[in-house]
Amino acid sequence: MINEVTSHLHPILVHFPIAFITLAVLKDFWSAFFKKVNFQAERGLWLWIFAALTAWLSVSSGPEEMARGNTTFLHIHEQLAILTSWLVTIVAAFRIYSTYFKKKELFKKLKFLYLIFSLASLILVLSVGYYGGKMVYTDGINVKVHNKLVNPPK
């Protein structure tokens, strides 16, 4: 059972950054535009921290040896995943800095730019998921039928 889980670690982990980033962005936009309270750095901070951590875990668990030579989507999937992880890390770091170093005025001044980075994170993570799905559903990467790989590594 442990071997089964570890061999499918990447498909299990990738859903976490998608969920955390989506929830964090929705929380940010809800707080920024629909709540009557001030948009504050500490609200939703943990969503961004978990988003960054799970994004890097997903990147590090990618089974690229299964896809090398079998798909044209690997390079773009991989590059977008790394870019997403860095952007989410920057957003989380800015939130940590704004919260723990009492830079709320800086956060308020950069709110619009921050929301652009937040939305870009969501667009990127959804793009990563799209190309990951293309690798699985179009090229059969890491898909087994009767315990045999549909598209074995070259």
Tens digits of residue pLDDT in 131-154: 999 999 998 888 778 888 877 777
pLDDT at 37: 59
pLDDT by residue (tens digit) across 6-65? 667 899 999 999 999 999 999 989 888 886 656 666 778 999 999 999 999 999 998 877
SS3 (DSSP) at 145: strand
Q: Residue 107: which of 117, 120, 97 has the closest Cα?
A: 97
pLDDT at 116: 96
Q: Residues 6 or more apart from 69 whose CB is under 8 A from it? A: 153, 154
Global pTM value = 0.88
